[in-house]
Structure 1
Amino acid sequence: MIIVMKHTATSDEINTAVKQIENAGLSAHISQGAVVTIIGVVGDKSLLSSDCLCSLNGVDKIVPVTETYKLANLKFHPEPTKVKLGNCEVGGKQLIIMAGPCAIESRDQLLESADAVKMGGATVLRGGAYKPRTSPYSFQGLEEEGLKYMQEAREKTGLSIVCEVTSISAVETASKYVDILQIGARNMQNFELLKAAGKTNIPVLLKRGLSATIDEWLNAAEYIMSEGNQNVILCERGIRTFETATRNTLDISAIPVIKSKSHLPIIVDPSHACGKRPYIPSLAKAAIAAGADGLMIEVHPNPKIALSDGPQSLDPQDFKVLMDELRPIAEAMGRTI
């Protein structure tokens, strides 16, 4: 449930409501807007009397929440969340572009990629140190060695860095190096991994699962947030359908749906959505026009020799061209790049 306080409610009245919630063994989450304060109640609501709450001074009304996700719910937090990074924030006026290679192959490859995406206008460097692959014989990543290269790239370029983590031990290691922990599509419902990421104070990029509904996706975010980490960024990367012309099917409607259901920022990964280089620009433009807060794009110095996802990677020149083409669309949406 949600307790909506009157706009005249005092701090003491708000604290009294919070104390009553906590005395019943429930959790209270306060969201203070410009005019109204909202208190979200998480836990077994049968332990708490709505009539008793309504009788408290300063309480305007009680609103039930039927969705199973609470902390990620727009009703709990009416103002859009802005996730702060080292050099930017996700969910603000500036569109955040995360770009870089699917896999970190070597120090030289990563540093070259970092320079290229920085020059193209990216604000975050992506790179895979842990690579969950369909085949066990495919390149699996450089792990901590790759994370050290990412740290060096951040020091050299000023870019924030994001890397996927695939296990609880990877979370522990990556937390020493990165600005954003990425939970990949295959691990969206790896609940122990979600809880481990939730115990950190590092922003988490949560990709939508291959066949996950939007409610399942938001409930996965809830696992992270329920552990105390409220800095979650959602990433739509395409879902599996019957269509074979593209690697996945980009659910462009997920952007406005998420905006109507959640306060969390959402970015789009057009590279994984289509899996084919020629389609990336169109999907990237559509995502920005639909209201996405940013993009994640695979960029490799030489896609033809990439160890992972070369066919869906842009080269530095194509990335720069795309960024130039995105700017007027961003401006039309009242955003900047």
Structure 2
Amino acid sequence: MNIADLTFDMVRSYAEACRELHDYIADLQQDGFGLVVIPSRGAHPFFDGANRHDYETRPREMPISPFQLIDTLYLPFTADFGQASPFESRDIRRYWSRTLAAIVHRDTEDVAYRLHEYLRGSSKGFAIGDTSIKPASSEKFIFVDTVVSGRAICEIFDAFDEYGLTDCHFILLVDERGKRLKAEYRRRIDEMTLSQRATVIQVEKIFTEDEGPAMSGIWTVTFPDIMEHARKMIPELANSNEVGAGLYYFEVANREDSSNLDFTISNAILSTMIGTAVAAGPDHVVKRFLEDFQQHIAATKLQNQARTKNVADLRIFKGLPIDSTDISSSHVIRAHMAPTRAERFLRNFLAGHKTPEHRPWHD
């Protein structure tokens, strides 16, 4: 959406959703759910707001609450690979569901999981958090996602069923209070809610959705060439028609050259605005932050995809051996490389080479 159209009521609704998200996660944690999975950039600001609510409401004599001890896993379920993509969105989401299933079920031999770990290991500094498989007392996890039309989450429902991810509770943040849900997907979400496998939180407007790192601090990089060659070179993925290769990285701190200063400022204002609203701060203070946020976004043109690409390129080309990038309408950076480089990366993966010591895709 155009941030100039963002209203105070939308901010208040967003903050209320953060508070609800906190309470639902806290309740589920008491029931043995020990992991929160964040599959989209759009879900991150809500989870950040839930953390802020926890900080504001817990007793000061309790330095760490049980909410703060829950594990968090970021996996890039994004299927945004461009209009000319040869991949089906459901096949990409099946790949990420398979990867998640390997983590939850602690299957270190699964090829989808191993490929993702190999990519992470070859791209140091370009991945959020820890996806290593470790002992756990439970396989119960919470999946927090934003919903617009409903197609993406229904594809994920299907993939989870396929991979036995049944010990999951979905918390779904629904845009425009469900007005944009397609009928077939609404029915499926209603079924999941009635069976107590999902909880819906209605939001007036998810104004951070698909607006890039200016409103989440998360930068998304996908690798179409690795995906295309993996489908040809890895029999397990080719046979099951699954494909995926992508990373999230988190960057909000200002660089030494200040090339990302505008993004740093936008995230700081946004976080403070949402945090103040979550804490039920005075209306006039929230409105002042809203004005500052709108003015900053407009003045710096941070909703322009070209700005995201230019700032991302300064870091990506220094850290990844790629040949070019382009960017999607939702600010996903697509990192392209020559076929020989992508093939070399996958040959080394299949040969069992280690990372990052072997840097498998460098010349």
TM above 0.5, yes or no, is no
Bigger share in helix: 2
Bigger share in strand: 1
Larger Rg: 1
TM-score w.r.t. length of structure 2: 0.27
- Structure having greater relative contact order (Cα 8 Å, sep ≥ 6): 2
